[in-house]
Amino acid sequence: MASSLVSKMASRAHLSNFSEVGRKIVGAALNYKSLAHDLKVPHPAKPIIFLKATSSYINVGQVIEVPKAETVNYEVELGVVIGKKCKRISEANALDYIGGYCLALDMTNVTQIGNAKKMSAPWDLGKTFDTACPVSKFIPKESIKNPDDVKLWLKLNGNVKQEESTSDMIFSTSQLISYVSQFMTLEPGDLLLTGSPSGVGPVRPNDVLECGLNDLVTMTFSVRAVES
C-alpha cells in the first residue's frame, strides 16, 4: 500500500507541482496555545520536532488503521510542502521556500507515546505507522496568502472537535521552517506538519473523520481496527 501511495503522491493528482514526494515528514509538537492550555503544559521555549516516515501517507479513499488494543488520536494540521532545497535559512526568507500546502492529519498512537515516555525513549512508534499521515490534495502556494492565518476544523462522526486558526500557533510557519533548516536540509516535497490545536482525541473503529482548511479543501477518512 505504502509504495503505491508514494507513486500516487508523486502523480499529477496529488502533490502535483512536484516531481516526487519528499523524503521527510517533519512534525512540530505542542505548537498551539490552545492545546498547551488544555494539557496544562508551558509553551515550549523552542519548537519540539519529530519525524514521521513517508510510508505513513494515505490519500482520500484509503482507511486509517488503528490497532485493536491501542489508542490513536486524530490531530488536524496545516501541512507545508517545501518547494526548494534549503539549509540554515533565516526566518525572514523562510516563506520563499514554501512550494504549497495540504491539509493533514497527524494520527498519533498515544499508547506508544505513553510507553516511550515511561522509558524516556523516542516517540517514533507513536508517530510512524502505516496510515498515520492522511493528506489532502496539494494546495498551490498562491491559494494561501498567509499560512499563519488559516482556519482548520475537524469533525468526528459529524461533531466538531477542532476549530482554530493557525494564528494560535506558538511558533509561526517561518519560525518552524527556519528552525528545522538549522538541523536538516529541507528538500522539495518534504512535508512540515505545523502542529495541532485544541481538541485532539481518540478514534475508534468505524469512526468517520472529516476536516477542512479555509474554503479550499475538505477531506474525509474512515477508521478500521487492525490486530495489534
Ligand X SMILES: CC(=O)CC(=O)C(=O)O
Binding site for Mg ion (CB under 5 A): 75, 106, 196
Give whichever of 13 and 39 is closer to Mg ion, judged by the CB atom. 39
Measured CA to CA, the distance from residue 65 to residue 134 in angstroms comes to: 11
Amino acid symbol at 103: L
The least distance separating ligand X from the CB of residue 39, rounded to whole angstroms, comes to 9
Q: From ligand X, Mg ion, none, which one binds at residue 30 (CB under 5 to 8 Å depending on kind)?
A: ligand X
Q: From Mg ion, ligand X, none, which one binds at residue 35 (CB under 5 to 8 Å depending on kind)?
A: ligand X
Q: Are 27 and 51 in contact (CB under 8 A)?
A: yes
Q: Which residues bind ligand X (CB under 6 A)?
A: 27, 29-31, 35, 75, 106, 108, 113, 195-196
The least distance separating ligand X from the CB of residue 200, rounded to whole angstroms, comes to 7
The least distance separating Mg ion from the CB of residue 27, rounded to whole angstroms, comes to 5
Measured CA to CA, the distance from residue 164 to residue 152 in angstroms comes to: 6
The least distance separating ligand X from the CB of residue 124, rounded to whole angstroms, comes to 12
Contacts of 171 (CB under 8 A, 6+ apart): 28, 31, 47, 179
Measured CA to CA, the distance from residue 82 to residue 95 in angstroms comes to: 9
